[in-house]
Structure 1
Amino acid sequence: MDMHVWLAYVVTAIVFSLAPGSGTVNSISNGLSYGTKRSLAAIAGLQIGLAVHIVLVGAGIGALVAQSALAFTIIKWVGAAYLVWLGLQKWRDRSTLATAQTVNQLSSMRLMRNAILINLTNPKSIVFLVALFPQFIDPTKDQVTQIMVLGLTTVFIDAVVMLGYTSLASQMGRFIRSDKIMSKINKVFGSMFMGCGALLAAAKA
């Protein structure tokens, strides 16, 4: 994988991880309830769930490339369109980040298990990865190596971002829970997703 392609993916993966979602809610909630240190198990659990999705998506993309170059090209166009659509949805998102602090102290294993299930049961992660990976994979080169690089990069970036959310939440809970701030965050990331989709579509024109 060329360095400039990988760097472009790093930027996209950072946007993907920063965008509020179920993993973000889990990280912030744990940060508020348990602090950063006790929440590390949950962050690890989120990455285990994400890694499972990456393996499933990677295997599917590899099989697709082997069978049909046309199908691979089509899914790249669909992926670019999906990024734009996701941006529109995020821009119009009116949901709030209702993180409740619980008095029940869960064990580290329970926190990890809950986090794994949160990511495993989130179909949006698979759909997003299916849309994202083909944009950065060269079908003429080794698929396994490229998918491994993208997968490891995704997990590392997401772990760092979730750690950041958890740490921030433990120190600035009231600010993070502000509905006004959450609305602004949704619009910022909605614009970023639409911009990524438009750029990817223009690059194929």
Structure 2
Amino acid sequence: MIDVAALAVFIPTFFFVSITPGMCMTLAMTLGMSIGVRRTLWMIIGELLGVASVAIAAVLGVASVMLNYPNAFDILKWVGGAYLIYIGINMWRAKGKMSVDTHNTTAVSRYSLFSQGFVTAIANPKGWAFMISLLPPFISVQYSVAPQLAVLVAIILLSEFICMMIYATGGKILRLFLTKGNNIK
């Protein structure tokens, strides 16, 4: 079904792509720091569904459309960039201070967290670029596409989950460090 030599290249390649800081990993760390790892899992589930959607779309034709119509990819990059600007403006307007709120009274719904993860994954130009450029070459035309895609997407999702948990846990640990003693003034 899938060549073992190809998997030996695929797994570390996509783990490296996953562990590299980006929009989704930064969101996982921020939420891990502000609402904890357990609540961050809702965002992670949404992000994983978004990543799976992008991966499947990349293999099922978006890659060929975007390679044949580069303007479509440019539009996607601009939409993703606009979303990043929107997030940045909201963070800038939040008038944050150098402190960690130990009495977080803001309740964020599970649906809101899930949606935030999904939209962040779908609007992430880095995710689209990597899926379009890296995933299709690992699909062999000698075998049925569906089982190959299922295995590769499962590997991607496992890698993403592990990395997101590392970032979310790192955020929680950072919060504990910052709230201990006088580490923030």
AA partner of residue 60 (structure 2): A
3-state SS, counterpart of residue 36 of structure 2: helix
Q: Which residue of 2 aligns with 1:110?
A: 112
Distance in 1 between the 2:170 and 2:159 partners?
A: 16
Identical columns (%): 23
**How far apart are 1:173 and its partner, in Å?**
4.5
Within 5 Å, give how 1:18-29 maps onto structure 2. Answer: 18-29=19-30
Deviation at 1:141, TM superposition (A): 2.6
Check the 8 A contact 2:54/2:127 in 1, yes or no. Answer: yes
**Matches of 1:58 and 1:137, distance apart in 2:** 8
Question: Secondary structure in 2 aligned to 1:39?
Answer: helix
Which residue matches 1:151?
153
Structure 1 counterpart of 2:111, one-letter code: M
Alpha-carbon RMSD across the aligned residues, in angstroms, is: 2.6
Task: Tell me the secondary structure at the aligned position of residue 172 of structure 1.
Answer: helix
Partner of 1:48: 49
* TM-score scaled by length of structure 1: 0.62
Unaligned runs of 5+ in 1: 65-70, 72-97, 176-205
Misfit runs of 4+, over 4 Å: 100-103
Kindly tell me the number of residue pairs found equivalent between the two proteins: 142
For 1:137 and 1:115, how far apart are their aligned partners in 2? 27
Structure-2 residue corresponding to 1:37: 38
Greater gyration radius: 2
Segments of structure 2 that go 5 or more residues without pairing to the other structure are 68-91, 178-185
Partner of 1:171: 173
Structure having the larger proportion of residues in helix:
1
Per-residue displacement from partner, 1:142-188 (whole Å, max 9, x unpaired)?
A: 2222222111110111011101110111012498xxxxxxxxxxxxx
> How far apart in 2 are the matches of 1:35 and 1:7?
34
Structure 2: distance between partners of 1:119 and 1:151 = 14
Alpha-carbon offset, residue 126 of structure 1:
1.4
For 2:19 and 2:54, how far apart are their aligned partners in 1? 18
Secondary structure of 2:140's counterpart equals coil
Which one-letter code corresponds to 2:137 in the other structure? Q
Partner in structure 2 of residue 131 of structure 1 = 133
> So what's the TM-score if we normalise by structure 2?
0.68
- Using the alignment, how far apart are the partners of 1:56 and 1:136 within structure 2? 15
SS at match of 2:107: coil
